[in-house]
Amino acid sequence: MKVALIQMNSGHDKAANIASARALMEQAIAEERPDWICLPEVFDFMGGSREDKFAAAETLPGGAAYSMMQELAAKHRVVIHGGSILEKLEGEPRVGNTTVVFNRDGGELARYRKIHMFDITAPDGKQYNESASMKPGDAVVTYEVDGVRFGCAICYDLRFPALFQALADRGAQIIALPAAFTLQTGKDHWEVLCRARAIETETYFLATGQTGNHVQGNEVRATWGHSIVVDPWGHVVARASDGVGYVAARIDPERVGKVRRMIPVAQHKVKFA
C-alpha cells in the first residue's frame, strides 16, 4: 500500500485552502499514484474569528470541502482521509473538528470528531481555547481499506495514549493523525510522541501536519509541519521538512503482524482496578 501525506499552510480563505488541497492531491496522485491520501487538520479553514469559523463550517454530508474530496476520490480511485474540516452541528453553538474519509468510489467511509480539545497556554504565553468554539466528539472510529484497518485521531489526541490503545484493541494496524501542531510544542514533542504511539500500539503511524504561519485574531501563530510516517517498530520511514508539499511512502501491513509476534504486548496487558 502506498500512502501520501499532504502538508499545507491553510489560512482563513476557504476557497484558496480548498484549491490548494486539490492541487497538492492532484500532484501527489500524478507523481506517486498512492492508494491512500491524508490531508492535515482543519485544512479548509485556519485562523479568523469565532464567527468566521461558523461561517466556514459545512453541514455534512455536503459543502465545498466535502464535495471536492468526494469528487477526487471517485475520479482517481483513491481513498482520501480528509484531514479535518469544520462541521456545523445541529442545535449546537460550537462546530465539530471532523475527519471524513472517502472510499475509491467517493462514498463516505468513516467520520470522526476530535475528542480532546486543545485548551492550553503555550511556552510563549499564547492561549489556545479550542473548546470555546469546537465541540469534542466521543466515539472511537476505525475503518477498513483493502483488508487493512485504519484508526482515526486528530492533533491534540496524540497526547492521550488510551485513545490509541482503544484503536489498537479495535484492530487498527495503521493510525492516521492529521494535525496543526504548534511550532513550540512540535519542535520538542511531535516526533517523540508519534514514535511512542507507533511503538505502544505496534501500528504504522501516519501524521500529517499544517506548516507555517496563520493569523488568529490579532496574533500570528506558527505550526510545525514535519509530516511523518513511522513503522510499527518506531522507525521513521519518511518525513517532510518545512513548507507546503507532500511526502509519500510504501507501507507493508504484514510488518505489523511480524512486530506483534516478536513483542506481543496485547497479550501481556494487565488490567488495573
Cis bond before residue 61 (omega within 30° of 0):
yes
Contacts of 166 (CB under 8 A, 6+ apart): 140
Instruction: State the Cα–Cα distance between residues 168 and 142, nearest whole angstrom.
Output: 10
User: Using an 8 Å Cβ cutoff, are 173 and 255 in contact?
Assistant: no
* Cell representation of residue 19: 484549491
- Is 114 tagged catalytic? yes
Catalytic residue among 38, 41, 53, 135: 41
What is the DSSP annotation of 197-263? HHHHHTSEEEEEEBEEEEEETTEEEEEE---EEE-TTS-EEEE--SSSEEEEEE--HHHHHHHHHHS
Catalytic residue among 14, 53, 114, 135: 114
User: Using an 8 Å Cβ cutoff, are 47 and 216 in contact?
Assistant: yes
- Is 152 tagged catalytic? no
Burial class (CB in 10 A: 0-12, 13-18, 19+), 237: middle
User: Using an 8 Å Cβ cutoff, are 153 and 176 in contact?
Assistant: yes
**Residue 171 DSSP symbol:** T
- Is 187 tagged catalytic? no
Catalytic residue among 14, 155, 194, 202: 155
* Cell representation of residue 255: 510488518
Catalytic center residues? 41, 114, 155
